[in-house]
A = this chain, B = another copy of it.
Amino acid sequence: MFDALKVATNSNPNAVAGAIAGIIRQEGSCEIQVIGAGALNQAVKAVAIARTFVSELDLICVPTFADIEINGLERTAMRLLVEDRTRRTLVITPGVVA
């Protein structure tokens, strides 16, 4: 199982899309973690591009908030679960029983 893919403002969306495609082909799903608007922008672009790379699947993404700690400081990250639409995994979200 891969850790969440960390995407940053200066990440190349095409390269990230390639990584997403590879992880999905191997694992069935891919989790991306970002902090900040610039990083999220690159991540969502990468998902749109990955949809064309993995065109045999219907890739969707499920955004959720995640509280993470960096150097002792609490930050709110966004997580994007990317997987085929027909694949159902346990997504733990308040109020949702998957």
Residues on A lying within 8 angstroms of B by beta carbon are 36-38, 40-41, 44-45, 47-48, 51-52, 55, 58-65, 78, 80, 85, 88, 91, 93-96, 98
Contacts and interface: CB of A to CB of B under 8 A. Distances in A.
Given A41-B37, A44-B40, A52 B98 contact: no
A93 B38 contact: no
26 contacts: A37-B40, A37-B41, A40-B41, A40-B44, A41-B41, A44-B44, A45-B63, A45-B65, A48-B64, A51-B62, A51-B63, A51-B64, A51-B93, A51-B96, A52-B94, A55-B93, A58-B62, A58-B88, A58-B91, A58-B98, A59-B62, A60-B60, A60-B85, A61-B61, A61-B62, A61-B63
A78 B44 contact: yes
A2 B40 CA distance: 26
Nearest to A76: B45
